[in-house]
Amino acid sequence: MIVRENYLKKMIDAKDKPFIKVITGVKTCGKSTLLLMFKDYLINNNIAEDNIIHMNFESALFDNIKNYKDLYNYVKEKIKKIKFICC
């Protein structure tokens, strides 16, 4: 794994800002890896893993999410179970 310190720092700096963050790039450029590094950062900074919603849409676990309504309902259900939401 290549550690993308500059990109990770930008994500960390934007963490508590009230705007939507979008990560884009060509296939296999490291977007998912960057998000996993950010997840590790959160966990290492005392954010409970149960309070992080992580979804890999290449996994069969999420085959039932076909549109924005399905995604909304999935996240809404997860939020009900989480006491503290970060990011």
C-alpha dihedral (51, 40, 43, 53), degrees to nearest 10: 0
Q: Which residue range is the domain that position 45 belongs to? A: 5-81
pTM reported for the whole predicted model: 0.77
**Number of independent structural domains in the chain:** 1
Instruction: Answer yes or no: is 86 within a domain.
Output: no
pLDDT attached to residue 3: 76
**Which is it for the CA torsion 36, 42, 46, 47, positive or negative?**
negative
**In whole angstroms, what is the distance from residue 57 CA to residue 54 CA?**
10
pLDDT for the residue 80 = 77
Does residue 87 sit within a domain? Answer: no
Whether 27 is covered by a domain: the verdict is yes
72, part of any domain: yes
- The tens place of each residue's pLDDT in the chain, 87 residues long, gives 777 899 999 999 999 999 988 999 999 888 999 999 999 999 999 998 888 999 988 899 999 999 999 999 999 988 877 655 455
For residue 49, being part of any structural domain is answered with yes
